Structure 1
Amino acid sequence: MDRDPLGDARALVADRYPQAVWAVLAGSVLTAHRTAGSDLDIVVALPLGDALAPRRESLVFREWPVELFVHDGQTLDAWLGKERLERKPTLFRMVGCGTAIVGDPAGRQAECRAVLEAGPEPLGPAQLERVRYGLTDLLDDLVHATDPGERQVIAAALWKDAAHCALVAADRWDGTGKWLLRELRAHDPDLAGRWLAAQPDPAAIEAFARNILDRLGGPLFDGYQAVAPRPEATKPA
């Protein structure tokens, strides 16, 4: 735990990507959340058109587990755009809140922090209906499940889905794994506590999910439609 993550991360980038325009070290290794298993999350920006971008690498360097996220300006823009649509700002957070170890990413970091602070775009009507329908369907499955094993599996799926939907209802960024809980806590610590407490009890999960569904506008099944674009016709040979 007394190793220098900044120095080691800087040495790794210099060794593997000496052409880097800038790089940042992010993640729990620089925070109070650091543990003995914390890794080095490093975002590397290469010159535009570099053949090594985009890529993700996992490796061990000086006993550190390392995750490298390698982009050039074009691929970074594309990936950030994808994250905004998915409402899961992993790369935004790494770049915006990371510590520079190579070059000067200040401009890009300011852009990412501004997006994080603004929050995601509200869902459109069709997207919101899809969320309501999905949560309604899981609740219905749980209520009518008779097989104990199936009920347990459905409850687990509903528990996690209800947390994602709670963030949708609040127009907050979403997350996966530990970031799902962190986003919930940042939004509403009491809600996050009730979500965690419900986990072992299918009845409590059902009650929590119904509360979230009400925040989204209530159950949706009868009359729901999801229209998809027609696939392009295959030209005859």
Structure 2
Amino acid sequence: MDEPLPTARALVRDRFPTARTAFLAGSVLTHRRTPTSDLDIVVLMDGPPAPGRENLVHRGWPTELFLQTEAVWRDFAEKETAKRSSPLLAMCAEGTLLFDEDGLGASLQAEARSRWAAGPPPLSDGERDHLRYIVTDLLDDLRGCADPAERLYLVSHLLQRASELVLLVGGHWLGGGKWLSRRLAAADPDLHHALYEAAREATDGDIKGFEAAVSRALDAAGGPLWDGYRIG
């Protein structure tokens, strides 16, 4: 396959000649690149075919195109920020400008970097307590679980929830799938290592290490919460 940067640039120029700017982002530009890495491209234009999204294979590269106007970009950024997980800000903050016709790309990249560095909105006390309750409840279920299939699902769900709890309490952005692992590894490498190593043991029935790692996550958030928890 051709190199990712010139390939992505040529694709956007050919398919969207009126585009104002474009970013190439994702693992393909890093040491994490794998044989299945794709080209994640954010394209800014003034109108149709934006807004939209398209998946295709171009010169052997799996490619995801995120087509946006400036107004749609800002709307997406606001909505994702409210959810404390913003792939768009991350792509534009950490990605590479493919071209920039009128300065919009540089402006959006500066804004994305500033907002990304500032972190997501802080948790309210109620939100933090709700997360503590969820993790506490799941951990209690795991302690009493005797079914191997159920144990596997509980460990998987607890791994996600405990990771999210640590990130949010620490003021870090969330991520989905592999990005949840990467965000936690950057925020708290020791706990990240403890969680995933113990999770593998827990799926085989030995939950002691995993229980201890999840308890560390709970303690960082204020401790377990179940008895006396109320909403409303």
Shared fold, TM over 0.5: yes
SS in 1 for 2:108: helix
How much has 1:15 moved relative to structure 2? 2.2
Q: Deviations over 1:98-134 (max 9, x none)?
A: 1111324111101100111111221012211221111
Listed as ranges, the gaps of 5+ residues in structure 1 are 228-237
- Which shifted more, 139-148 or 103-112? 139-148
Q: Does 1:124 align with 2:106?
A: no
How much has 1:54 moved relative to structure 2? 2.1
The within-5 A match list for 1:89-128 is 89-103=86-100, 104=103, 105-128=105-128
**Aligned partner letter, 1:167:** L
- Matched with 1:233 is none
Judge conservation of contact 1:24–1:95 (CA < 8 Å) in 2: yes
The within-5 A match list for 1:15-164 is 15-47=14-46, 50-103=47-100, 104=103, 105-164=105-164
SS in 2 for 1:172: coil
Aligned residues: 224
- Matched with 1:10 is 9
How much has 1:138 moved relative to structure 2? 0.6
Q: Deviations over 1:168-221 (max 9, x none)?
A: 221111112221121112112222211221111232222111111111112222
* TM-score, structure 2 normalization: 0.90
Judge conservation of contact 2:123–2:169 (CA < 8 Å) in 1: no
SS in 2 for 1:200: helix
**Aligned partner letter, 1:127:** E
CA RMSD of aligned residues (A): 1.6
Moved over 3 A (4+): none
**Aligned partner letter, 1:93:** A
Q: 1:153 to 1:45 in 2, by over 3 A?
A: same
- Matched with 2:177 is 177
SS in 2 for 1:74: helix
Listed as ranges, the gaps of 5+ residues in structure 2 are none
CA distance in 1, matches of 2:139, 2:155: 9
Judge conservation of contact 1:158–1:205 (CA < 8 Å) in 2: no
Judge conservation of contact 2:24–2:42 (CA < 8 Å) in 1: yes
- Matched with 1:194 is 194
CA distance in 2, matches of 1:93, 1:54: 19
Judge conservation of contact 2:51–2:67 (CA < 8 Å) in 1: yes
CA distance in 1, matches of 2:213, 2:36: 33
- Matched with 2:214 is 209
How much has 1:30 moved relative to structure 2? 1.5
Q: Deviations over 1:25-67 (max 9, x none)?
A: 11122222222222111000111xx232222211011111101
* TM-score, structure 1 normalization: 0.88
How much has 1:97 moved relative to structure 2? 1.6
CA distance in 2, matches of 1:160, 1:115: 25
The within-5 A match list for 1:211-230 is 211-227=216-232
